[in-house]
Amino acid sequence: MEWVGLVWAGTAIAYAILGTFRGHVVPMRFRNVIASVVVGLAIWSALFAFQRRMRSFDEEDDPAPMPADAGEKTEFSFARLRYKDAPTAGYRRGNWTIDYPKADRQFLQGVRRLTRIHTRSVEEVVDFEGDQIFDWPWLYAVEVGHWYLDDDDAKKLRDFLQRGGFLMVDDFHGTHEWQVFIAGIKKVFPDRPIVDIPDKDPAFHVLYDLDERFQVPGIQYFYTGRIYEYDGVDPEWKGIYDDKGRLMVAICHNMDLGDAWEHADHPRYPEKFSSLAYRVGINYIIYSMTH
Amino acid sequence: MFEFLFKYPASVFTKGTFVLLGQWPVWVLAVLAVGSAGLFGWIIYKRRTSVLPVFRGWRSVAIWGLQSALAALLLLLLWQPAISIASLKSQQNVVAVILDDSKSMAIREGDATRSAQALRVLDGGLLKGLQEKFQVRLYRVGDSLQRVEKIDTLTANAPATRLGDGLKQVMAEAASLPIGAVVLLSDGAENAGGIDLETISEIKRRRIPVHTVGFGREKFDRDIEVTDVVLPARALADSRLSAQVTLRQNGYSGKQARLTVKDGGKVLASRPVQLKGDGQQTEAIVFPAGLAGARVLQVSVDPLEGEENGANNAVTRLVNVEPRKPRILYVEGEPRWEFKFIRRAAEEDRTLEMVSMVRTTQNKIYRQGIGNPKELEQGFPATAEDLFQYDAIILGSVEAGYLTPSQQELVRDFVDRRGGGLLALGGRFALGDGSYAKTPVADVLPVVLPQSKSTFQRDQVPVVLTGPGRDSLLCRLLEDPAKNMERWTKMPKLANYQDAGTAKPGAVVLMEALVGTRHLPLLVTQNYGRGRAAVFATGGSWRWQMQQDVSDKTHEIFWQQLLRWLANETPGRMVSSTPKQVLADETRVPLRAEVRDKKYNPVTDARVEARIVGPGGVAASVELKPDPLNSGVYLGEWTADKTGSYLVEFVAKRGEEDLGHDVLTLRREDGVAENFHAEQNRDLLEKLASETGGKYWKPADVKKMSEEVSYSEAGITVRETKDLWDAPAFFLLALLLRSSEWLLRRKWGAV
């Protein structure tokens, strides 16, 4: 969309040059009004384009400083899916923003340090508009117990996954949120089963051997001491596979890896949870880049 | 005209040497010529003030030049110029007259067949003229050379024309006979693919001129012919094959023909072909190789209305479809999308097996497709035995430093000696940015890598096919060439690109990345040693998969074709071959086998045997002998006595050690060779004559042939000198010089 700003800026400059130096058939009074509108639009468009490019949204849940190398062009970035909320969601900023952007950036630091993946230091927010989603084959969606996919969104997500994209969903708990998630994902794949990912699946071994997996709690653990939310007592490592047995959707139900990334630097958040969350996240990324 | 001006035919001047017969030395002639020019100059200079003003300046120089030239000419004639030439002694030499007696000579043109026209020429005075001066030996040539006593025994029924073999036989007779010249009456429709250099050299060594007389039209008015079909002798099961079909046509420009490939009665592929101007054109047709086994393929073009020769529209080719599954080793230096999507494309190809290792962290690799837990356990193979088990290697974004110097040399040897395929991809640790420029790997690559770094850019760029790319099977997404080109213009941009430098001489650039107005080589291929190498200077073709519809298979097709090209032709430790698998009216089968050890070094002490099974229970065994000129190569020969298909199994052993085996299929067909190239091949006849010092003649001009045949240095000769001083050309030249001077003087007003 950067071209919108460029077109407007070009138009404004051309108009100003024509009007100022060569005279114009439009009377001076109207000309000033038109020029002001055009220049205003150009500035607005340029700002819009810039924001689109950096994908910086003001709906941040947990602000984090923008790294100096945020504009670096890389092979990978943490692509966070911006979806519509279900009518029952009731969260002002949109549930897709939970933990954003600190969880993303803190996790990416780990990806940089622990792997050879060439990753950007900041996330990329993608939505179902246009074809931008297809440039980010690894996608993360948080709080999918509150998402809503209309038919167009579902078709695009289905295309994304069938072409070779990978979706990791996280941070939704209990029966009700599972049902909301199912309502959306069944629009994507009405007939494809959701199954437990076997322990021997390469997704749990591609870099780290993750035979010992346990429930990773969210920040509420600080206050309640509970590691689960609602009736989501047991962590579920589920997935949806394609016809060739490749994992397309990794479902982290009854756990909150996003919080574990976000609060990895918090002295009260146990290291073992963050450690597992990092290893799971990295394994899913490397799996998606190798399978 | 030439003969009128210079007294003798041009061949006398080309074969003879120029001499001066005068008694006085040549230097005297030179001194006198220069002296007379000086004298004229001095006189003109002395009289420059007394002559008319109109004669001063450049005009006096012109007069001086004309006078000096005339004086020089007259002096030259005083020295008696002549040509010294060798000529055959009368009745002491043999002239071999060879008549083409093949089936193509039975083609009727005008009121008579070509054979009848040749007999008419001989009877019309040529034979008599030759017999007056020489002893004449008559031969007929078809698939072999035979001596005949009378010319009326010709049948024009030989199944093939082997002019080269016939001439070779005549040269053998020249060792014991004073053969002074050869006269060949033929349409030049040679079926052995021309006359080999060895035969030409032998004729030149013996200085025997071959005079050729051409019969038949040089092209038919209305005909289309399949002149050649190029197909690999081997293919992998389920792969796609591209046949390069050469068509030659006259009289059908702008018309449409249909090209078809059949396996038995089953049509494998068929497509229309737009015929261009008269002459040759090459068309590609793609078809599936099918399951493993020997294929007898017929490539044909449907007969067109009014065609004069309908028997030259189809040729047979053999392809051995092998059940082998080549293994490709893909080494990737970092997790990236290109790796994933190349793997997925390879997984969908049943004919290939991809083994990969990707560096996930600084000290860990992740292996996929391995045959056993030990494979690649220690990383990139460190020995020739381990590396050479693969058929192709892909180097992804992995820096040169990851490989030891000996591993880098192994990669070069893998292509050069083992005959494998190497593909280098673009990436931030690849090509120039991976510091490959000064490594042995760079020798193999088809590009000269840039010395600079930062050649890898993560900007989206479109791709364009080059001319060779349009014709290449590697870039063929759709069979129809025009639709294929259009399809490429709609391909999504690459995610990134790399400046791979410049293509090496002999390399072929198939695809370019369009970076602004610059065209950077993107897909470049070349053959190197026994193998082949390619550079695909991007790590961003995965967008072709992610940015296109799920049902679109262009990404998979492109990669599968590239991977097959890389691995399909990688030879095993033993490779057998024969120049022609389809013997058209031939029986001789040269056999060749190349044997290598586990490190792919030539084996010189093997025992190589060819076991042949043919039609009607034919069974034979031929032991191949080492070729003294090529290490590791074994040669043999066998005769296919019956028409039909043959299976040849080659087995190589060293003591009890089994060194390998290979299988080859052959087919002998009779009665087909003379259907092809049936027009007069004037080029061949002219070239044969000019290479050997003879002359190409049209039938109407042969009356003077017996005179020219005399001028030969072969056989028993005498040296003659032929005076030139009385040639009309000199007289006319003298007249021209003198009259020019007079005309100039008159023009300038001095006469």
| The pLDDT of residue A19 | 46
Tokens coding B450: 């840039």
Q: Contact A244/B347, CB-based, under 8 Å?
A: yes
Of A116, A131, A163, Cβ closest to residue B360:
A116
List, for residues A141-161, the tens digit of each pLDDT value.
999 999 999 999 999 999 999
Interface list for chain A against chain B, based on CB atoms closer than 8 Å: 73-76, 114-118, 131, 134-135, 137, 159-160, 162-165, 206-207, 244, 285-286, 288-291
Report whether pLDDT(A17) > 50.
no
A18 confidence band (pLDDT: 50, 70, 90): very low
List, for residues A163-222, the tens digit of each pLDDT value.
999 999 999 999 999 999 999 999 999 999 999 999 999 999 999 999 999 999 999 998
The Cα of B431 is separated from the nearest Cα of chain A by a number of Å equal to 17
| The pLDDT of residue B84 | 87
List, for residues B22-42, the tens digit of each pLDDT value.
888 889 999 999 999 999 889
Q: Half-sphere exposure of A167 toward its Cβ, with a 13 Å CA cutoff?
A: 29
Chain B partners within 8 Å of A159 (Cβ): 549-550
List, for residues B395-435, the tens digit of each pLDDT value.
999 999 999 999 999 999 999 999 999 999 999 999 999 99
| The pLDDT of residue B549 | 97
Tokens coding A78: 């943490």
Most confident of A37-51, B143-157, B452-466: B452-466
B211 confidence band (pLDDT: 50, 70, 90): very high
| DSSP codes joined into one string, B342-399 | HHHHHHT-TT-EEEEEEE-SSS-EEEES-SSTTTTTTSS--SHHHHTTSSEEEE-S--
B90 confidence band (pLDDT: 50, 70, 90): confident
3-state SS assignment for residue B216:
coil
- Choose among A239, A110, A107, A102: nearest CA to A167: A239
B653 near A CB under 8 A: no
The Cα of B594 is separated from the nearest Cα of chain A by a number of Å equal to 39
| Cα–Cα distance measured from residue B587 to residue B583, given in angstroms and rounded to the nearest whole number | 7
- Choose among A208, A129, A133: nearest CA to A164: A133
Beta-bridge partners for B534:
B423, B525
Q: What is the mean pLDDT of residues B579-597?
A: 91
In a mutagenesis test of the B interface, which of A3, A73, A115, A116 is the best target, namely the one with the most B β-carbons within 10 Å? Answer: A116
Chain B partners within 8 Å of A117 (Cβ): 334-336
B546 near A CB under 8 A: yes
| Cα–Cα distance measured from residue B470 to residue B487, given in angstroms and rounded to the nearest whole number | 11
B550 near A CB under 8 A: yes
Q: Contact A135/B549, CB-based, under 8 Å?
A: no
Provide the 8-state DSSP code for B79: T
The Cα of B348 is separated from the nearest Cα of chain A by a number of Å equal to 10
B630 near A CB under 8 A: no
Of the two residues B130 and B672, the one the predictor is more confident about is B130
| The pLDDT of residue B751 | 63
Report whether pLDDT(B501) > 50.
yes
List, for residues A49-72, the tens digit of each pLDDT value.
444 444 445 567 888 999 999 999
| The pLDDT of residue B463 | 98
Provide the 8-state DSSP code for B47: T
Contact B474, B440 (CB under 8 A): no
Beta-bridge partners for B623:
B609
Of B361, B543, B547, Cβ closest to residue A116:
B361
Q: Measured between alpha carbons, how far is residue B550 from residues A81, A155, A157, B547, B553 in Å?
A: 21, 11, 12, 9, 8
Distance of CA B444 to the CA centre of its chain: 24
- Choose among B193, B140, B136, B201: nearest CA to B171: B201
B21 confidence band (pLDDT: 50, 70, 90): confident
| Cα–Cα distance measured from residue B412 to residue B437, given in angstroms and rounded to the nearest whole number | 13
| Cα–Cα distance measured from residue A5 to residue A49, given in angstroms and rounded to the nearest whole number | 6
B339 near A CB under 8 A: yes
Provide the 8-state DSSP code for B42: H
| The pLDDT of residue B150 | 84
Of A116, A118, A288, Cβ closest to residue B362:
A116
B551 near A CB under 8 A: no
The Cα of A289 is separated from the nearest Cα of chain B by a number of Å equal to 5
Chain A partners within 8 Å of B398 (Cβ): none
List, for residues B169-190, the tens digit of each pLDDT value.
898 888 888 888 999 999 998 8
Report whether pLDDT(B525) > 80.
yes
Report whether pLDDT(A23) > 80.
no
List, for residues B50-75, the tens digit of each pLDDT value.
777 777 788 888 888 999 999 999 99
B53-67, B75-89, B455-469, B552-566: least confidently modelled range: B53-67
Chain A partners within 8 Å of B339 (Cβ): 289-290
Q: What is the mean pLDDT of residues B564-570?
A: 93
B402 near A CB under 8 A: no
| DSSP codes joined into one string, chain A | -HHHHHHHHHHHHHHHHHHHHS--SS-HHHHHHHHHHHHHHHHHHHHHHHHHHHT--S--SB--PPPTTTT---SB--EEE--EEPTT---TT-GGGTTTBHHHHHHHHHHHHHS---B-SS-EEE-SSTTGGGG--EEEEE-GGGEE--HHHHHHHHHHHHHT-EEEEEEE-HHHHHHHHHHHHHHH-SSPPPEEPPTTSGGGTSSS---S------THHHHH--S--TT--S-EEEEEE-TTS-EEEEEEESB-HHHHHHTTT-TTS-HHHHHHHHHHHHHHHHHHHH-
Chain A partners within 8 Å of B539 (Cβ): 75
Between helix B58-78 and helix B26-46 the angle, nearest 10°, is 150
What is chain A's length?
A: 291
Q: Residue B88 contacts by C-beta under 8 Å, 6 or more apart in sequence? A: B133, B134, B180, B181, B709, B710, B711, B712, B715, B716, B717
The Cα of B498 is separated from the nearest Cα of chain A by a number of Å equal to 14
| The pLDDT of residue B60 | 83
Of the two residues B47 and B135, the one the predictor is more confident about is B135
ipTM of the complex: 0.85
| The pLDDT of residue B162 | 87
List, for residues B299-347, the tens digit of each pLDDT value.
999 999 999 888 899 999 999 898 889 999 999 999 999 999 999 999 9
B458 near A CB under 8 A: yes
Q: Measured between alpha carbons, how far is residue A170 from residues A139, A216, A251 in Å?
A: 11, 11, 6
| Cα–Cα distance measured from residue B424 to residue B396, given in angstroms and rounded to the nearest whole number | 6
Q: What is the mean pLDDT of residues B505-513?
A: 98
Most confident of A55-59, B100-104, B209-213: B209-213
Q: Contact A159/B549, CB-based, under 8 Å?
A: yes
**Segments in B573-702 forming alpha helices (H):** 682-692
Closest chain A residue to B553 measured between Cα atoms?
A: A163
A192-196, B54-58, B522-526, B683-687: least confidently modelled range: B54-58
CB count, 10 Å around CB of B293? 14
Q: Contact B358/A114, CB-based, under 8 Å?
A: no
| The pLDDT of residue B223 | 92
Interface of B with A in 553-592 (CB under 8 A): none
Residue type at position B16: G
Pairs of CB atoms within 8 A across A/B: 80
Q: What is the mean pLDDT of residues B279-294?
A: 89
3-state SS assignment for residue B696:
strand
Q: Measured between alpha carbons, how far is residue B637 from residues A179, B417, B605, B732 in Å?
A: 78, 27, 19, 64
Of A135, A288, A290, Cβ closest to residue B368:
A290
Sign of the dihedral defined by the CA atoms of residues B149, B153, B156, B158, in that order:
negative
Of the two residues A8 and B542, the one the predictor is more confident about is B542
| The pLDDT of residue B45 | 84
Report whether pLDDT(B112) > 50.
yes
| Cα–Cα distance measured from residue B466 to residue B523, given in angstroms and rounded to the nearest whole number | 10
What pTM, to 2 d.p., does this model score? 0.73
| Mean of the per-residue pLDDT values of chain B | 92
| The pLDDT of residue A42 | 53
List, for residues B607-624, the tens digit of each pLDDT value.
999 999 999 888 999 999
Most confident of B234-243, B409-418, B572-581, B637-646: B409-418
In a mutagenesis test of the B interface, which of A126, A135, A209 is the best target, namely the one with the most B β-carbons within 10 Å? Answer: A135
Q: What is the mean pLDDT of residues B530-534?
A: 97
Q: Contact A159/B364, CB-based, under 8 Å?
A: no
CB burial readout B460-491, b (16+ within 10 A) else e: ebebbbbeebebbebbbbeeeeeeebebbeeb
Pairing mode, strands B657-669 and B644-654: antiparallel
Q: What is the mean pLDDT of residues B709-736?
A: 86
Chain A partners within 8 Å of B366 (Cβ): 206-207, 286, 290
In a mutagenesis test of the A interface, which of B360, B363, B368, B553 is the best target, namely the one with the most A β-carbons within 10 Å? Answer: B360
Interface of B with A in 271-290 (CB under 8 A): none
Backbone φ, ψ for residue B716 (5° rounding): -100, 120
A32 confidence band (pLDDT: 50, 70, 90): low
The Cα of B372 is separated from the nearest Cα of chain A by a number of Å equal to 17
